[in-house]
Structure 1
Amino acid sequence: MTESAKNCAAHGLRARKREATRSAITAAARRATAQKGLNGFTIEQLCEEVGVSRRTFFNYFPSKEDAIIGHLLDEFPAAAIAEFLAGGAQDSGVERGPHGLSTTLLRDLYTLTCAMAAQLGFTKEQIHQLIAVMKMEPALTMKMMGSSKIREAEFADLIAQREHLDPDDPLVNMAAAVFGTCSHRASQAFFSEENTASYGDLLAGNLRLAQQLFNFSLLPFEGTP
């Protein structure tokens, strides 16, 4: 192995370790919040459970609330991300639709997001506990809502990589915005007290409604782009 290859391998290993540590902190923070409430545990206790120092914690997150929200990419299984990125039209031979995006993009975004939901693995009890915490802690709820813009940007970056387009491409950003809205609405319904449906079913329902809306027979839109 060349020196350059060794350096790349070492860099990749460090990146994976950082992602694993960050993901472990978020998972532990969410469990603790569901069981004890936001004020029921300290950052020191969280660090002890994960096996990291307080300094390490703050290298990843500025606050306990940010640790609970986490990073979107940490929640996706690595294999699911790799499969999603490999599904782009240029690499896999998948055709592009008239809009310029691969025809399987929506289906693959759905599959990727369901893989994330499965990895999180919230039990019904934990879901109800988190609902109770969010009711008691409006600031946490507002912070989670505010993170939707960051997550939308992360979705746009994934879509751009897959479709071999610029992250600032308007089509990429619109795709991320529409899918992000459907995903957000599915999450709201999933974390409601009366819900009995799976996240996948809720997301599929929202995506079908979006498809119906844009496929509806309307007069040609002639507004200024």
Structure 2
Amino acid sequence: MDESATKTGGVREQRRERTRRDLTRYARRLTVERGLSGFTVEELCELVGVSRRTFFNYFHSKDDAVVGHRDDTLDEQALTDFVNARPSGCSGISPTLLDDLVALAIASIPFDDDPGDDEPNPDLIVEREPQLLPKFIREGAELERTLTGVIAVREGIEPDDPRAAMAVQLIGTLVRRSATVYFSPGNTTPFSALLVESLAAARAVFTPAPEGTA
């Protein structure tokens, strides 16, 4: 395959990923505003600028569009960068693992830098439509399994190594804490900065400074 064909395929895939994410973002926004029964697939497609046929190429139902899919949660390029970011020459768990996981989360989670934007709060989606919670939980569990496997490959450890699972659980906790602050009334701090701050706070807990030091 020549270089131009590779670039064309890459652009096409980026467009597909953007369409999937836009469908999920607008589906979530409409769900918060009106509830699942308060809008149609046609209305959603009109907002995104795609056809009904295109919608069903990505999702089976409005529920699926709202929940999204784990394949859309991890940005493909960011995932590649994460795997390649492991420092050469180190053995065991790399010292940059958590920092690189934070970078992966920032690149993959579609929160804009402006806390005043209209990104829908996931908690409000579940509050409005509680029956979606099991689907969110299932997709979250699948995402955790996927990320655990990626970490194991990057770090050269077994897939069932508890350190890989612990890293995933920790980054998930940091993301949830940062998202809670991000969506809180009056917040002006970007999600990316909140996530970096959360990691620093976790490190301070696990490795407290000696008594008497700043």
Instruction: State the shift of 1:138 in Å.
Output: 3.2
- 1:200 counterpart letter in structure 2: S
Q: Distance in 2 between matches of 1:16 and 1:158?
A: 24
The residue aligned with 2:61 is 63
Q: Structure 1's 131 and 216: CA in aligned 2 closer, same or farther, altered over 3 A? A: closer
Q: Distance in 2 between matches of 1:16 and 1:65?
A: 28
Q: Specify which structure has the bigger relative contact order, considering alpha-carbon pairs within 8 angstroms and separated by 6 or more residues.
A: 2
Q: Structure 1's 143 and 20: CA in aligned 2 closer, same or farther, altered over 3 A? A: same
Aligned residue pairs: how many? 201
Alignment of structure 1 residues 119-134 onto 2, 5 Å: 119-121=110-112, 124-127=116-119, 133-134=125-126
| Residue among 160, 163, 166 paired with 2:152 | 160
The residue aligned with 2:44 is 46
Instruction: State the shift of 1:101 in Å.
Output: 0.9
Alignment of structure 1 residues 25-44 onto 2, 5 Å: 25-35=20-30, 36-39=33-36, 40-44=38-42
1:75·1:116 contact (CA, 8 Å) conserved in 2?
A: yes
The residue aligned with 2:188 is 196
Alignment of structure 1 residues 1-225 onto 2, 5 Å: 13=9, 20-21=15-16, 23-35=18-30, 36-39=33-36, 40-47=38-45, 49=48, 51=50, 53-54=52-53, 57-58=55-56, 60-89=58-87, 93-96=88-91, 100-117=92-109, 119-121=110-112, 124-127=116-119, 133-140=125-132, 143-144=135-136, 147-216=139-208
Identity across matched positions, percent = 31
Q: Structure 1's 214 and 201: CA in aligned 2 closer, same or farther, altered over 3 A? A: same
- 2:193 counterpart letter in structure 1: D
Instruction: State the shift of 1:203 in Å.
Output: 1.5
Instruction: State the shift of 1:44 in Å.
Output: 4.0
Give the match's secondary structure for 1:88.
coil
Instruction: State the shift of 1:107 in Å.
Output: 1.1
| Structure 1 unpaired stretches of 5+ | 218-225
Instruction: State the shift of 1:186 in Å.
Output: 1.6
RMSD: 3.6
1:156·1:172 contact (CA, 8 Å) conserved in 2?
A: yes
| Structure 2 unpaired stretches of 5+ | 210-214
